[in-house]
Structure 1
Amino acid sequence: MGMKYQGINLGNVKISNRSSILRLLNNNGAMSRKDISEAVGLTAASVTLITTELLEEGVIVELGEAEEEKRAGRKKILVDINHAYKNVLCIAIESDETFISVTNLGGTVKCHYSLFTDKDIEPEDFLQKITSKCKRILKENDIEMGTILGASVTVPGKVDRARGISLNTYNIWTREVRIADIISGELGLKVIVENNLKAYAQSEIYFGRGKSESEMLLLKWGPGVGAAIVSGQHIYRGANDMAAEIGHMTSGENRMCNCGRKGCLEAYVSTNAIVDDVLASIDKMPSLKKWVEAGNIVGSKNIQEWISIDDASLKAIIKEKVNRLAHNVRNAISLIDPNRVVLIGYMFDIPGVYDSFIEAYKQFDDRITDDFFVKSELSEGINHTEGLAVVLEELFF
């Protein structure tokens, strides 16, 4: 018996074509229908049909005539994504602080709020607290629930995106939490739950380096260590959605990690690990000790204040951390072979740390080009927008 022919689903083709046009406009900005047709390989009639529907829905807008040299024939009318079409609710739960914001589709933050991440209460109770804050923020800023395209919740650690569950956030919650069900039940919105590093990677794809780079490694340092792989402008997740867990590569033998295993890189180079090692040796650091005796605190949140104090033992600890991270990154790069590594996280923003990391890496590979490592252009305000791209990927493009 011959194979049964599976006909093409024209509805799916139309959705795919619509998605291609929206992604093109996101990457390139305003374009004429003729240029869109040439770029995506669709007929002019198909592009006109799809863009007419998008205009009627308010998803895109006409911006007027393109500026070009005078010539005979019809003028090119530019169209672009209407960033005011819908809003997105972004919730970023980090180990110390939780950020709530509402953005438009282009990433402009319309309002935001932050609160302490309370790990002493049940996660369900904390999520209830978050939804109460969300309702208050929307009401105070006159944002109707009907204008919200969807909501994202980004967390560290393992997630089951399909079921909207946090499996283990390591240093926040260690059990499964049905985040999407709770927040959706309270707010009546579609909720997508994603790992924070993968959300950041999605942001780079839509708003940062990913517009022009197809093979990237994102590396975050502070407070923990994490990474994400972008291949073909898509996030590589692995068989168990755990690809690029660089913070849990083996880097030692005895130190216990938040994940429950011993020897993970994060157990040695996280900001908490740095603080622990510094405090254990503070008697060998006269300048830092004097600074502490003056009423200051050596902590992970204020690491930028004390990391550059002139003590040889302090400098030695920081150098060891940077070298250890560089060594593990070199191993990861050997396996992944990216054409760019994007560095994010507040450790890389500390004066001198970024340069020290590059110098340490070159000990293992001095053939890299000057632009192989780059700092993310999205770092500022990312806590308020990292979930936007997750919602766009799921519900818009």
Structure 2
Amino acid sequence: MKYQGINLENVKLSNRSSILLLLNNNGAMSRKDIAETVGLTAASVTLICSELMEEGIIVELGEAAEEKRAGRKKILVDINPEYRNVLCIAVESDTTYIAVTDMKGNMLCNCSLPTDKHTKPEQFFRNVTDECQRLFWKNNIVREKLLGAAVTIPGSVDRKRGISLNTYSIWTESIPVADLIKKDLGLQVVVENNLKAYAQTEVYFGLGRTVSNLFILKWGPGVGASIIIDGKIYQGSNKMAGEIGHMTAVKDGRSCNCGRKGCLEAYVSTKAIADDVQAELDRTDENADKLERDENIEKIIDNKIDMLAFNLKNSISILDSKNVVLIGYMFEIPGYMERFIKAYKEYDPLVSDDFFVKTDLRVNREHTEGLAVFLNEAFLTA
């Protein structure tokens, strides 16, 4: 067998990624501590850090605060939040959110526009890029300082080609999202499923930094999940792993946007709840956070909660995740998360009190989860 040798360039990129990921997870560290943690020589770490500092990606922060000791003091380095900015575009079923962040996830400015399902996708994304241009102009965002853009969108995505394959509730055709954005803004563009993007955020900025096996459940206008195994997002053979909303909950049941029947989302999404309220009680409630005030409506909600809890329990029985992270509009309604956990415990009374986690990440409210997707693409993978 012919000896292939080692690709030194790939090794170098991998070492850079390891250092950047470590700084992202731990915050400022000295070169010596970095070397001990990632298993590189002090000389290698010094060389890589020098290159990263020359590029402006990391900065020195000064001496570490530590007890008095003999010898050279530790000088801390950290990721430079002002190195570049990232454009985050989050397409949701009703609203599309636009934000610009720094490298640490701090939002610099934002805006939004309705997700117009009746407009052709090409025209819609032209409207999005026009809105981005206005946002840049109003907030003095210099195009040259933008590292790139990340677009998060529901449904199946071909990340390699930057194509949205099927958004189910918005459009059904394939859309070359990356090409459309790049054409108007001239930026590198990464496209990812919205739940997998959130999972990436949890890996880099949240609980995923310390827990390697997680299940993320989102409940709102849509129902979805993402699976993190050994610190990596599990994609599945068709990139559709975690589609809990499209598990069959009722045989030959309601038609779903995905084209199948009986899917969980067709019964427990906010639209499904509103439809059931209108059908069963002959009334319309536009705001889901007001539903619990009516005793009859609470019974409908309890049925939805029970159905969601039942399907989650079956999923967790297979995956054996360490924690379940709860996100989404419905879990933000006072009392709903507690009711859901209570329903789940009826199927698994042995579950620990700390099994369910409500994330502290603000990206779910600011819609900046695309940042983690872009960092993963640009810096943190070799």
SS of the residue aligned with 1:107? coil
1:354 aligns with 337
**Displacement of 1:243 after TM fit?**
0.5
How far apart, CA to CA, are the structure 1 residues paired with 2:332 and 2:99?
A: 23
1:221-253 Cα shifts (integer Å, max 9, x gaps): 001110000011110000010101100001002
- Asked if structure 1 preserves the Cα contact closer than 8 Å seen for 2:151 and 2:190, the reply is yes
Shift of 1:352: 1.4
C-alpha distance after superposition, 1:259-297 (max 9, x if no partner): 0100000001001000011111225xxxxx6xxxxxxx5
For the Cα contact (< 8 Å) 2:327–2:364, is it kept in 1? no
* Residue 379 (structure 1) shift: 4.5
Post-superposition offset of 1:382? 3.9
Provide Cα deviations, 1:41-87, integer angstroms capped at 9, x if missing partner: 00000001000111111110100101111111001000000011010
Equivalent residue, structure 2, for 1:275:
274
1:157 paired residue number? 155
Question: 2:292 is paired with a residue of what secondary structure?
Answer: coil
The answer to whether the 8 Å contact 1:92/1:383 transfers is no
Q: CA deviation at 1:154?
A: 0.7
Name 2:292's counterpart in structure 1. 308
Task: Determine which of 121, 141, 144 is the counterpart of 1:143.
Answer: 141
2:61–2:78 contact (8 Å) kept in structure 1: yes
1:396 aligns with 2:379: yes
Q: CA deviation at 1:380?
A: 5.7
Residue 370 of structure 1: aligned partner: 353
What is the total number of aligned residue pairs between the two structures? 379
Letter in 2 for 1:164: G
- Residue number in structure 1 paired with 2:302: 319
- Which residue matches 2:327? 344
- Residue 62 of structure 1 aligns with which residue? 60
Secondary structure of residue in 2 paired with 1:307: helix
1:115 aligned onto 2:99: no
CA distance in 2, matches of 1:97, 1:81: 32
Which AA in structure 2 matches 1:308?
E
Residue ranges of structure 1 left out of the alignment (5+ in a row) = 284-288, 290-296
Distance in 2 of aligned mates of 1:318 and 1:381: 23
Q: Which residue of 1 aligns with 2:285?
A: 298
Output the amino acid matched with 1:171: S
Q: How far has the Cα of 1:384 moved from its partner?
A: 2.8
Amino acid at match of 2:280: S
SS in 1 for 2:215: strand
Among 62, 74, 77, which residue is 2:75 paired with?
Answer: 77
> TM (normalized to structure 1)?
0.94
Structure 2: gaps spanning 5 or more residues = none
What amino acid is aligned across from residue 331 of structure 1 in structure 2? N
Verify the 8 A CA contact 1:131 1:183 in the aligned structure 2.
Answer: yes
- Give how far 1:310 is off: 3.0
Residues in 1 aligned to 2:67 and 2:359: alpha-carbon distance in whole angstroms:
37
Counterpart for residue 312 of structure 2: 329
| SS of equivalent to 1:369 | coil
2:93 aligns to what?
95
Runs (4+) of structure 1 exceeding 2 A deviation are 379-384
Deviations 1:153-195 (A, max 9, x none): 1110111111111111011101011110111111111101100
Structure 2 counterpart SS, 1:213: coil
Counterpart amino acid of residue 265 in structure 2 = E
**Aligned-pair RMSD on alpha carbons?**
1.1
